[in-house]
Chains A and B, each alone.
Chain A
Amino acid sequence: MITSQPDATGHFGPYGGRFVPEVLMAPLEELERAYHEASADPAFQAELADLLHNYAGRPTPLSYAKRLSETLGGAKIYLKREDLLHTGAHKINNCLGQALLCRRMGKKRVIAETGAGQHGVATATVCALFGLDCTVYMGEEDMRRQRLNVFRMRLLGAKVTGVSAGSRTLKDAISEAMRDWVTNVHDTYYLLGSALGAHPYPVMVRDFHRVIGLETRTEILRREGRLPDAAIACVGGGSNAIGLFHAFIGDASVRLIGVEAGGRGGQLGEHAARFSGGSPGVLHGTHSYLLQDDDGQVALTHSVSAGLDYPTVGPEHAWLHDRHRAEYTSVSDAEALAGALRLARTEGIIPALESAHAVAEVIKRAPAAKGQIFVVNLSGRGDKDTDIYRENLPELDADTN
């Protein structure tokens, strides 16, 4: 059976590892030890399970998308409804886990980065729940396009610090969060929001999201009596995707399909498609596929979706890619927007723009897949993207013109 676990120092094949300034090395070792102890502690696991169930709303439904499936005329499409979780996205799974770990480690101050704002909101939420001081770094461009989430974080008591460096997006927010951590490491817990960064984050964040795939697997077997033919998810850092994929890695019959942001076009700087446009490199503590120029400078990225607008990808995805266990493709801004509209009109579900990328990929593939079962991770809901949908669908906003 194919499995996917890192080696003792956090490498997935040639990827992953721990590439940070020396100041952070011992704190990462400490975090790794604390995480191993916690994950082996039944009391920790029981408290997390209770919170996931009674606070976040797990298990999430697996909705059969009947009208979408029928109008496409091919595969039977199921939606894993992470959008129905408290705070509106899968991000809360990881935040609850790490907040428990933070409390266990005795740290009182939490920092986080956010792109679309969903991780920021989930972090602000768990900090309120546990009484922790919370600072969220967010690129100024992302603050502009995800304004609603900025306000939600502040409403929850978090401090949102804008980052004006570089592309003013997720990449720069992570850099600034790392600078804060380097400075305040003695009392601060860095609650990283995706399955990337230095070891142990890629493993830890994945483990907290594994529940997505485990629930999906149980439920599809109960409903259909067999495994799906494909599991499909959008990939920014890759946490919702690895959470869905991981339960199926050993099932060779299940195709694992990750969907990156194709943005506006194939030129470097116009997209965030790391596998087609990038090459191995190191950014933010991990070795993975990276969008970079010939001199090793990190490239700018573009996506209509702030959560996918990032130049590198979680190292486990890089490893799954190279072993041909998962395949990675991309859809454009326009395709994602069209996918969101179609899902809204056929299923009554407005997806987050990130998740809309996975939906758009399914729309492409389903017609030719009669008799197959597809599972799509609907990682988040679209409320936060209302302004972007309005900008891009002006005809629906006509009475305000």
Chain B
Amino acid sequence: MPTRIEQLFGRLKDQKRAALIAYVTAGDPSPDRTPQIVAALERGGVDLIELGVPFSDPIADGPVIQAGAERALKAGTTLRKVLEMARTIRKTSEIPILLFTYLNPAMRYGFENLGRDTKAAGIDGCLLTDLSVEEAAPYVESMRKAGLDTVFLAAPTSTPERLKLVAQFSTGFVYLVSRTGVTGERTALSNTLEPLLASMRTVTTLPLAAGFGISTPEQAGVVARVADGVVVGSALVRMIGENASDARLEAFARSLREGMDR
């Protein structure tokens, strides 16, 4: 059976629309806020949630998401608690959820357990930022067994051979890192995204979502014209850090959606 992620991209393809993907750090600012934030984003038109499990040493993240992880950890967030949050979200929503974290918390939990428990919590797939395809075989096997998608990153530095491997290990979609660097808002979009999209299209038919540095409706609109999905993270995490209301988050999501549908 196709996962919610696969169904989503299938549906959007027919509508010729790109997916709006929102990254939020689970438990930021508190575990009980996360399901409310996700609901607000869904009302604003978000199609897929990347639910971040905070890690103590987030080497791929810029200051904004680092601060979000710190807030979440301070609030007592663990992988176990993130799964509870997912279950709460699933009670009222069918929005596809991708668990997004670093390798060590997942490894500590055990891949087998992770596959079983994330699936049971209603999560649809996983992405581990610092797990390279070379090292991924045991993880991918456990996720497949549980019926979860495994999303991997492709980067502007990836060689053609590496892009093939990334495509081979990914299901659901491939996450394109639009530029070298850590997560964070940028005023200008990178010119490395389009060549990366073009190279990736030659090796896979999977949907391609782009992230890193996309934070405004205009930028989301530009990326939506070339990619199958647009990921916005730091801009949201910054608002959450400023205690933005659900209404504000919903309005921001709607502005992104409108920027993409224009």
Contact = CB atoms under 8 A, between A and B. Distances in A.
Interface in B26-71: 55-62, 66
Interface stretch (A116-124, A181-189, A366-374, A379-387): A181-189
A395 interface: no
Given A282-B130, A290-B104, A296 B57 contact: no
B200 to A, nearest CB: 12
A296 B59 contact: no
B62 A283 contact: no
A9 B61 CA distance: 26
A23 B177 contact: yes
Interface stretch (B141-149, B152-160, B236-244): B152-160
B78 interface: yes
Interface stretch (B4-12, B92-100, B106-114, B246-254): B106-114
Contacts of B157: 22-27, 185
Contact of B105 (A20, A25, A29, A295): A295
Contacts of A25: 132, 134, 155, 157-158, 162
Contact of B158 (A26, A182, A298): A26
Given A18-B134, A22-B162, A295 B79 contact: yes
- Judged by DSSP, the binding face of B is loop
B212 to A, nearest CB: 9
B83 to A, nearest CB: 12
B93 to A, nearest CB: 26
B180 interface: yes
Contacts of B104: 281-283, 290, 292, 296-298
**Residue of A22, A24, A284, A296 ringed by the most chain B CB atoms within 10 A:** A22
A296 B162 contact: no
Contact of B59 (A26, A179, A281): A179
Contacts of B216: none
Contact of B57 (A21, A26, A182, A283): A283
Contacts of B79: 295-296
Nearest to B105: A296
Interface string B105-141: 1111100000000000000000001111011000000
A179 B162 contact: no
Contacts of B158: 22, 25-26
A165 interface: yes
B13 interface: no
A297 B152 contact: no
Given A25-B158, A175-B57, A297-B55, A182 B132 contact: no
A9 B108 contact: no
A133 B78 CA distance: 41
A315 interface: no
B2 to A, nearest CB: 26
B201 interface: no
A42 interface: no
Interface in A23-63: 23-27, 29
A179 B107 CA distance: 22
11 contacts: A19-B130, A19-B132, A21-B177, A22-B162, A165-B66, A182-B60, A295-B79, A296-B108, A296-B109, A297-B104, A298-B104
Interface of B: 55-62, 66, 73, 78-80, 103-109, 129-132, 134-135, 152-159, 162, 166, 177, 180-182
Interface of A: 9, 17-27, 29, 165-166, 171-172, 175, 178-179, 182-186, 281-285, 290, 292, 294-298
